[in-house]
Structure 1
């Protein structure tokens, strides 16, 4: 069972330090309990800083009644404001102070809701703030990898070198565990489930109520459970609304709220230049596979059973997308993630690099790969833009089938050598 004994260094920390050296405001955003405050404290400990949280009622009252005075109290030190989305008036106050003095590293604000969706924030902070989205822990971070894993960069450079050993069973455990730091510090499934239960109750009541004036609280928990029981799934809003028991318009608003709270992620459909048979629906999933496994009651034993195997396939796809999304924060390659499906076949993940090249990825949750998978990945998207075609699976074998076509373990995402 995956277990986190010590606090680990985040791969995003050098990037956060770089942002603070260049920008007067840095916004560190992400879901509640993914480690934003810990990372902010680590960065603040290396410089003179004043750290405050709006979770403290007295601090929040000061910020609400005198936002300029609140922001000026750090003087020339870095001011770290945790849960900054709780006081929208800080946005305009920061704008005023930064327009007076654009010295880098003045403010580091964190939030478990999208701070820049606060009224007026996007326009007010344009050109003044940089944003870093923090995801749950990557497997490379959990295993304290010295060099941040960068799978896309490794693959497009020919996948050189040997993989570190990582058994299929450990990969299965990694998928089910997810990357939230606190539950990973608990040594039993029961203890982890208690944490997730409390977490869902907190975000569905307190956080959701603050952002929506109580409108979404009742159905949000049902919606999260429905998504958690589906893995990475194509979103048909009318069907989803019926399953949750709300109107389609309400379902879309609930999903928007969950996305603002960083609880879900969207994988858009890719279709540039392809024929009209392409289906353009996004895939939706919970941010973290550990949270999804909690909602579905999935365990390692159940993944081997009839019914559980099908769900585990969807969960494995969700896991690979999540790990790639984490690596995008620090990768040497700039890329976006998509999926592709026409009426007959689909590609799980299409990685589009900023220079237009593609890496096409199929995810298999078994110890072997059927011939049809090779046909799909080799023919569905034309060769002219494809830099690599990869099937990742639960097994351990690495196989180079041609110059740019590979069979790799899912664990290659974090066991590949550094370039």
Structure 2
């Protein structure tokens, strides 16, 4: 799977659009996800001043004279704004004095307003665009239109695939962080992932939260990888780590703030049965999760390997990426009720229409794999558009009214309706 050096990012169009009508645009996402490259490309065709708060001299200047630091008649690009969140007050003053759109283009590797030090300075003045690691479609030059296609054509969606189980395993362990995608040697990729996670804990996590047990934080990341795509029970982590529940909750929040993990909330509508509100947890990058489990592509295919949970986490992360650019405004959640009916992903648009998605690592599918999807279909009636089992086989197969088995590669190979 060769990866080009320069990968076109779908978020670029969103950043251009936001700069045309918004005073401050923030591109937020994981470290080394390509934020600086994206804003450099977006700002490349116009006059702009650039600052980087990861550089000691730039950060010192910002702290010494914040008003002067942001004073510019042209677009100002500031990387890693979370390194000095107090600078937002100076930006607020600048854009209130001169409210032209496209004044500031910021990047941040933490969810800015989750930080205790970040003042709530820019309501109504800033648009945030989330940048994930590369999607499979960005890496392959494919359309990434699965969500829009599902809501447009529902069970009429068809897809045939040549992607093998071995290829899915290779994609999972590679992940989408730009640096990792260029490393063909698994040992070199492992070194990158190990250093990446350690650096996040040593610097970014400690900036966000009072971390007194760095070794336990590292252990927590490994435990979360082993429980990827599951509902996380804090009490089980408490016994495994020897930390209090409030401490674990704070650590989990910090890992989410730095875009290492993402929580998928429980979904419920008044369906006549009680549903869990607990969140599922997935890694933003599947390569990190696989590395934390010390597994490679070949090992993933062996009996007993965590292929299923990692594939589900991979799918949920790809869906999350796609939600940042899909035309449909959709919320992603999961479903589980007391009757043990489960659906891995529930996509609901603003009109209340729902698509349910199950993920199966097998290359064959049977009626039992649709158990949770049938429950949703029965309860939702006409609001239920389709129930999809994404599997590692090659063909689209019908399994009843609005129920289909579709190859996982449809996620990135199916075009949105306007592109078809």
The TM tier, using the shorter chain, reads over 0.9
1:7-406 aligned at under 5 Å gives the runs: 7-72=6-71, 75-119=72-116, 121=118, 123-145=120-142, 148-158=143-153, 159-160=156-157, 162-163=159-160, 165-215=162-212, 217-308=214-305, 311-343=306-338, 344-381=340-377, 382-384=379-381, 385-402=383-400, 404-406=402-404
Find the aligned partners of 2:415 and 2:94 in 1 and give their Cα distance.
Answer: 45
Give the TM-score taking structure 1 as reference length.
Answer: 0.94
Question: Secondary structure of 2:120's partner?
Answer: helix
Find the aligned partners of 2:125 and 2:88 in 1 and give their Cα distance.
Answer: 11
Give the TM-score taking structure 2 as reference length.
Answer: 0.94
Q: Deviations along 1:316-352, whole A, 9 cap, x unmatched? A: 1111110110000110111011111123221111111
Does the 8 Å CA contact 1:78/1:108 hold for their aligned counterparts? yes
Find the aligned partners of 2:273 and 2:375 in 1 and give their Cα distance.
Answer: 17
Let me know the Cα RMSD of the aligned residues: 1.8
Question: Secondary structure of 1:369's partner?
Answer: coil
Does the 8 Å CA contact 1:163/1:417 hold for their aligned counterparts? no
Q: Deviations along 1:98-120, whole A, 9 cap, x unmatched? A: 11111111111111111223457
- Deviation of 1:156 after TM superposition, in Å, equals 2.1
Question: Secondary structure of 2:327's partner?
Answer: coil
Q: Deviations along 1:142-173, whole A, 9 cap, x unmatched? A: 0123xx41212111222456546433332222
Find the aligned partners of 1:186 and 1:270 in 2 and give their Cα distance.
Answer: 38
Deviates more, 1:229-238 or 1:320-329: 229-238
For 1:408, the equivalent position in structure 2 comes to: 406
Over 3 Å counting, the alpha-carbon distance change for 1:231 and 1:49 in structure 2 is same
Find the aligned partners of 1:412 and 1:406 in 2 and give their Cα distance.
Answer: 12
- Deviation of 1:301 after TM superposition, in Å, equals 2.3
Find the aligned partners of 2:399 and 2:37 in 1 and give their Cα distance.
Answer: 43
Over 3 Å counting, the alpha-carbon distance change for 1:87 and 1:219 in structure 2 is same
Q: Which runs of 5+ in 1 are unaligned?
A: none
- Deviation of 1:266 after TM superposition, in Å, equals 0.4
Does the 8 Å CA contact 2:160/2:394 hold for their aligned counterparts? no
Question: Secondary structure of 1:45's partner?
Answer: helix
Over 3 Å counting, the alpha-carbon distance change for 1:346 and 1:356 in structure 2 is same
Does the 8 Å CA contact 1:67/1:93 hold for their aligned counterparts? yes
- Deviation of 1:402 after TM superposition, in Å, equals 4.8
Find the aligned partners of 2:135 and 2:123 in 1 and give their Cα distance.
Answer: 30
Question: Secondary structure of 2:132's partner?
Answer: coil
Find the aligned partners of 1:47 and 1:164 in 2 and give their Cα distance.
Answer: 42
Deviates more, 1:164-173 or 1:14-23: 164-173
